[in-house]
Chain A
Amino acid sequence: MMKENRLKFTIIAILIGLVIGAIILLAVGYNPLEAYGIMIAGVFGSPKYISWTIIKSTPLILTGISVAFAFKTGLFNIGAEGQFIIGALVATLAGYFLHLPPVLHAIVALLLACLAAALWGGFAGFLKSKFGVNEVITTIMLNWIAFYLSNFLVYWDKFKRPNSEASQKILSSASIAFPKEFGSSLGSFFNAPVNFGFIIAILVAFLIKYVLNDTTLGYELRAVGFNKDAAEYGGINVKKNTITAMMIAGAISGLAGAVHVLGVTNEISILSAMEGNGFDGMAVSLIGGNSPIGCIFAGLLFGALKYGGYKIQPIMGAPSEIINIVIGIIVFFIAMPKMIEGLTTIRSRRKRGGEVERSK
């Protein structure tokens, strides 16, 4: 029942977001139907667009799962952004400096990225359990430290690609892109950097769902998230679980960064501002009802909105930032189920009133 309600609320919130977005577009003189039409065509109009949408969604699904996982254990992982940066950084370092056979190289790079980001996230968990420092604040600090650390290393002369604002490219043995020969026979779907990232993301979603629901670790983590004191009383080591939870959340965000590098960009650039992969992950997690499987759909929705949304700018000149507004409104309404509940009960009360009338 609760789950059903949640899904209903989420769908209503998405609709409200799209309607308010349409009103805003209309208010500044753009035709919202045309804008949404361009977005839909921009996502589904060609197999290539669909594969781009999936590629854009992949890191968001993973950072979404990372935030959702932390949420389930009572933690708020604002640090997904920094963990993503660390994952991308370590994956690029491993992809460039290590020399290993194909497949193995990619696996090693992915695992190293996860490990580094797990330590990065786990550090926030450690600070919380050892010193009682709120993870919201430490992860914000760690985000910026990761940001500057990444830029510092990209400026390192052994790592920086000369005459560019980016690092060296990873070796092809570390790539997780689909082999080219495989793609060319299958048409334009493969005219985008299709890679194994999406499959990895789905596997991770199911793995995390399994861990949370069907293992002792997951039970303990959820117990801590549900009621810390009761969990402690029940003999669960809250401090240890806090660190474990942040490590796992960190590893997933790091994986997002690694997948993005090894599958799509093959390098990291000098960052001038936060790219927002982690922050978008928070929205994905919320829209996905903080469930790993929900994050797959929310991530795809988010990726589609973003990828399709960028196309309204060149075609009709309408600001593509309308997408951020729509997402903001969706999250805003998801934050207050009470309001949506209020809206729907008024309607159902009316309906019920109508039935009484009829029965008379």
Chain B
Amino acid sequence: MNALNDLGLIIGISLMYAAPLIYTALGGVMTENSGVVNIGLEGMMTIGAFIGATVGYYSGNPWLAFLCAGLAGGVLALLHAVACVTFSADQVVSGIAMNFLGPGLSLFLSRVFFEGATMTKPIPLDQKMPRPLNGVFAQNSFLDLVFNQYATVYLAFLLVFIVWYILYKTKIGLRIRAVGEHPRAADTLGIDVYKVKYLAVILSGVFAGFGGAAMSLAAVSNFRATLISGQGFIALAAMIFGKWTPQGSMWACLLFGVAQGLVVYLGGTNIKVSSQLLAMIPYVLTLIILMSFVGKVTGPAANGVPYEKNKE
């Protein structure tokens, strides 16, 4: 029975840490399918985590906080869209700017709102994200450990389905992908390329903001300077690893989540394995997998290329 519970614990932690990555990777899927590279997801995730924790602390309402986090990520993404879509900026460079602006603004505002601290005050337990299945299963049983998750975890998986549906089953999804593959052809068919790209980029920021909030409102209960340290980049890798599809990205995020789950689990046992080496595994694994097959798959054809309407 004990082994089963341990397994449940690992799965539970894995899901909790995978959720923020899934949101952010879905953001990456949106923007890159429309042909705009967004390496600023990290910065958008950071501002989402900060705004989520701050609104959560002051309002006591986790859902309002979650929405505001998305909004904050979306606003930062709007800047990215202005640069990349309207002014044909170098998308990677603008993304770097986002990665300075997101954490910069977060820490700056944190000091303003929390008496000079770069850490927000913790949100009381009952004002964190709710756990919809709390109390359904016997406490610390296998099912409880696996399924007694924060609402953000369930929402993440729901969002995978929604993004998949939008991208592959709706007109707007077709337009997004058309714009990412061949913007001029899409333009000829009367699609407003700029509008579609704006929509996709802003949504990527909203999702990344959700991802940040899934950290600061659920996985932990406050924002601090090191809370988002690389998850945005990992989500980006997961998206490429997942071949630019929502479902593929989800599996890649779960892989990173499991690695995190193992690190946390083994840290609490007597097994003498270096947590540093364990933490390395998902990255090494990603490299190996990229080497073996992903290299042959490329992303949307016009990804990263600015589209200028009147240029031949």
Contact = CB atoms under 8 A, between A and B. Distances in A.
Interface stretch (A54-62, A149-157, A239-247): A149-157
Contacts of B118: 321
A325 B104 contact: yes
Given A329-B101, A332-B94, A321 B108 contact: yes
Interface of A: 24, 28, 76, 78, 127, 131-134, 136-138, 140-145, 148-149, 151-152, 155, 272-274, 279, 282-283, 286, 313, 317, 319, 321-325, 327-329, 331-332, 334-336, 338-339, 342
Given A131-B295, A329-B101, A274 B240 contact: no
11 contacts: A127-B290, A131-B290, A140-B237, A141-B284, A273-B225, A279-B96, A328-B97, A328-B98, A328-B100, A331-B97, A339-B89
B277 A152 contact: yes
Contact of B93 (A24, A141, A286): A286
A149 B280 contact: yes
Contacts of B230: 140, 143-144, 274
A322 B83 contact: no
Contacts of B294: 133
Given A134-B240, A274-B229, A332-B83, A338 B89 contact: yes
Interface residues of B, number: 48
A48 to B, nearest CB: 26
Interface string B89-123: 11011101111110111011001100010100000
Contacts of B279: 144, 148
B42 to A, nearest CB: 10
Contacts of B26: none
A141 B100 contact: no
B280 A133 contact: no
A216 to B, nearest CB: 29
Contact of B291 (A127, A136, A142): A127
A141 B286 contact: yes
A151 B104 contact: no
> At the interface, is chain B mostly helix, strand, loop or mixed?
helix
B276 interface: yes
Given A144-B280, A148-B276, A317-B116, 8 more contacts: A28-B112, A131-B290, A138-B287, A322-B108, A324-B100, A324-B103, A328-B101, A339-B89
A331 B40 CA distance: 12
Given A144-B280, A145-B284, A325-B105, A273 B94 contact: no
A339 B79 CA distance: 13
Q: Which of B97, B103, B240, B287 has the most CB of A within 10 A?
A: B97
A92 to B, nearest CB: 16
B283 A141 contact: yes
A136 B39 contact: yes
A164 to B, nearest CB: 17
Contacts of A331: 93, 96-97, 100
B112 A319 contact: yes
Contacts of A138: 287, 290
Nearest to B113: A28
A336 B89 contact: yes
B87 interface: yes
A328 B280 contact: no
B237 A273 contact: no
A332 B97 CA distance: 5
Contacts of A133: 290-291, 294-295
Contacts of A283: 96, 100
